[in-house]
Amino acid sequence: MTSSLPTFSKATAAATILLVGSISWALVGAGLQVLSTLQLLIPSLAYILPIPWISYGKLTPLTTFLFTYGWITSGFLGVLTILIPRISGIPFRYGRVLAGAAILWNVAVLVGLAEILWNGSTGLISMPFSRSVTALFFLSFIILGTGLTRGLGRSWKTGPLLPRLYLLGALLAFPLGLGTAELLLRGGLAPGALQIMMQFVWNSFLHHLWLTPLALVLLFQLLPVLTGRPVGSLSLGLLCWVATITLGGWIGNSLASEGPVPSWLQSAGVVSTLLLGIAVWGNGTLLKALLEGKWEECRRQVALRFLAVGLWSYLASYAWLAFLALPAVRQTTTFTIVAQATQTLLLFSFYGNVLAGAIYALLPASRAMGWPSHPALTIHFWFSTIGLGLIASSYSLAGIFQGLALNDPGVPMSTISSYLRPFLCTVLVGQVLWWIGQLSFSTLFFASLLKLFPSVAPAAIFPADYEDPSPLLTEGKY
């Protein structure tokens, strides 16, 4: 079993708090998401039980908030708190301050949850919370971000470059995007139409300049370590990094179709999305090469399999976004539930799988713990993957049918709603499966943290292949 080095132990509490928060918010969000879909599927439920704080209009923004800020962001910050001092070789100082910031982040999520349940959402895209929650996020980010950047410059030449570059981009994009959005959307500085553009810009910054680069930090750091291969071409990697950072902030406007966003910005969004697709293809080429011939290891090792699925989801998400940006497709799919398919691919499939893989790979390096070879590992992988496959495919098909029907003025709105029902049934099944997968993961996670399993190994291995786990993931490799 891996033991944690005392020099790195100061950040352990912060990482644990962030990861415990992340997994808890995912469970809460998954439950509320099922309730929300149930209400969309059976509208009569709202007539039988008209309860304001569990209405569809409140649960939908709430679940997106919990998944984005609670599950994914908290989780990414948690695994990066474990990873960064190990790749820089410079341990964190002021562990209590970091732990305080980790608590603050989760308090912000809790306050946001309470606000949306009681007072409702602000209606703003990717910003359904009040100014006080923004302030809490900011304060927490400043401390955690300072911790993460510490050592980045001093150790610049002593390790892989691409993860550092993506981390640098993400750490600058988040405060710039959130700060501008807060000032323009609630500071009274922007008139109406500009507010809508700002919402799209913030949505782009949040997903494509904050969460995607963080996921790429983990992919570019962990895949070479787990496969024992270096990234093939640094030049291609640098080109893709520049393209990702330059174009990521622009692609939100490709989601708009006429209305408040000027045409040139919509066209710029479309071009950026298509060009970003090329950068993603470049990154995919680099990362896929690491997995070539490693099928047996992907089948056996839990972390590697989740990261591999995360990588494929990265390619699928941006290919899907490029497809949606095509003018003919955009006219059909704007204002449909295709947006939910995009969210499923990005948030759950790409970020979620990368996060799960990173937790499986990194947690033993942070705490003196390991993973049992338990059937729950298999349940986590298959239930999550099948669940997400069902959700994404159903939302995609439903959204395309919905768009085609909306464009036919002869089809009444009530008929369009009835078209959605069979797809929503499948979505519901997928969400329940994903929830079971998360329950299984959280059981493993908490039981492993509490050291309840008699036999554990540092690398999580699926039960069918559990023979002699070679400890690939040792402290020194990060």
Partner 1 sequence: MKSGQALLIVFLSLLFAWAGQIALGYFQVGRLEPILNEETNYPEPPVPSGLAQTGARVFASQGCIECHSLSVRGPSGSSDLTRGWGPRRTVPRDYLFREPALIGSARVGSDLSNIGLRIPDSKDLMMHLWNPRMRNPNSTCPPHPWLFEKKVAGPRLENEALPIPTKDWKQILPTYQAKSLVAYLQSLHSDYALPEAPIK
Q: Which of residues 399-418 bind partner 1 (CB under 8 A)?
A: 402, 406-409, 413-414, 417
Residue 44: CA atoms inside 13 Å, Cβ hemisphere, count?
A: 0
Confirm or reject binding of residue 52 to partner 1 (CB under 8 A). yes
Q: Which is nearer to partner 1, 163 or 437 (CB)?
A: 163
* Residue 156 backbone phi and psi in degrees, to 5: -55, -40
Supply the angle between the helices 95-119 and 12-41 in degrees, to the nearest 10: 20
Rounded Cα–Cα distance for residues 288 and 160 (Å): 17
CB of 470 to partner 1, least distance (A): 35
Q: Which is nearer to partner 1, 228 or 327 (CB)?
A: 327
What are the tokens at 294? 């490693």
Q: Which is nearer to partner 1, 310 or 403 (CB)?
A: 403
Q: Which is nearer to partner 1, 58 or 300 (CB)?
A: 58
CB of 297 to partner 1, least distance (A): 31
Rounded Cα–Cα distance for residues 227 and 221 (Å): 11
What are the tokens at 181? 């959005």
What are the tokens at 354? 């990368």
Q: Which listed residue (9, 13, 27, 57) binds partner 1 by CB under 8 A? A: 57
Q: Considering only CA atoms, which of 364, 355, 318 is closest in space to residue 457?
A: 364
Q: Which is nearer to partner 1, 188 or 454 (CB)?
A: 188
Is residue 396 classed as helix, strand or coil in its secondary structure? Answer: helix
Q: Which listed residue (209, 218, 219, 444) binds partner 1 by CB under 8 A? A: 209
Q: Which listed residue (3, 7, 119, 267) binds partner 1 by CB under 8 A? A: 119
Q: Which is nearer to partner 1, 35 or 152 (CB)?
A: 152
Q: By CB under 8 A, how many residues form the interface with partner 1?
A: 84
CB of 437 to partner 1, least distance (A): 26
Separation in Å, CA 470 to CA 299, 301, 307, 461, 465: 15, 10, 19, 10, 12
Environment class of 44 (CB within 10 Å of its CB; exposed 0-12, middle 13-18, buried 19+):
exposed
Rounded Cα–Cα distance for residues 77 and 137 (Å): 12
Angle among Cα 311, 317, 318 to the nearest 5 degrees reads 100
CB of 206 to partner 1, least distance (A): 13
Confirm or reject binding of residue 214 to partner 1 (CB under 8 A). no
CB of 7 to partner 1, least distance (A): 23
Confirm or reject binding of residue 43 to partner 1 (CB under 8 A). yes
Q: Which listed residue (21, 30, 58, 294) binds partner 1 by CB under 8 A? A: 58
Q: Which is nearer to partner 1, 336 or 366 (CB)?
A: 336
Instruction: Say which residues have a Cβ less than 8 Å from residue 50's Cβ, sequence separation at least 6.
Output: none
- Exposure class string for 209-248: b at 16+ Cβ within 10 A, else e: bbbbbbbbbbbbbbbbbbbeeebeeeeebeebbebbbebb
CB of 59 to partner 1, least distance (A): 8
Confirm or reject binding of residue 337 to partner 1 (CB under 8 A). yes
What are the tokens at 104? 């603050």
First vs last C-alpha separation in the chain:
16
Which of 121-129, 131-139, 359-367, 432-440 is the region at the interface with partner 1 (rule: CB under 8 A)? 121-129
CB of 474 to partner 1, least distance (A): 28
Rounded Cα–Cα distance for residues 275 and 281 (Å): 10
CB of 98 to partner 1, least distance (A): 23
Q: Which is nearer to partner 1, 279 or 363 (CB)?
A: 279
Q: Which listed residue (4, 55, 130, 378) binds partner 1 by CB under 8 A? A: 55
What are the tokens at 123? 């209606």
Confirm or reject binding of residue 83 to partner 1 (CB under 8 A). no
Confirm or reject binding of residue 463 to partner 1 (CB under 8 A). no
Q: Which listed residue (192, 230, 454, 476) binds partner 1 by CB under 8 A? A: 192
Confirm or reject binding of residue 39 to partner 1 (CB under 8 A). yes
Instruction: Kindly report the number of other CB atoms within 10 A of residue 478's CB atom.
Output: 21
What are the tokens at 100? 């305080």
Q: Considering only CA atoms, which of 179, 166, 168, 99 is closest in space to residue 137?
A: 179
Give residues 241-300 in contact with partner 1 (rule: CB under 8 A): 242, 245-250, 253, 256-262, 265, 268
Confirm or reject binding of residue 219 to partner 1 (CB under 8 A). no
Q: Which listed residue (121, 212, 254, 283) binds partner 1 by CB under 8 A? A: 121
Rounded Cα–Cα distance for residues 343 and 207 (Å): 10
Q: Which is nearer to partner 1, 52 or 463 (CB)?
A: 52
Give residues 129-168 in contact with partner 1 (rule: CB under 8 A): 152-153, 156, 161, 164-165, 168
CB of 8 to partner 1, least distance (A): 22
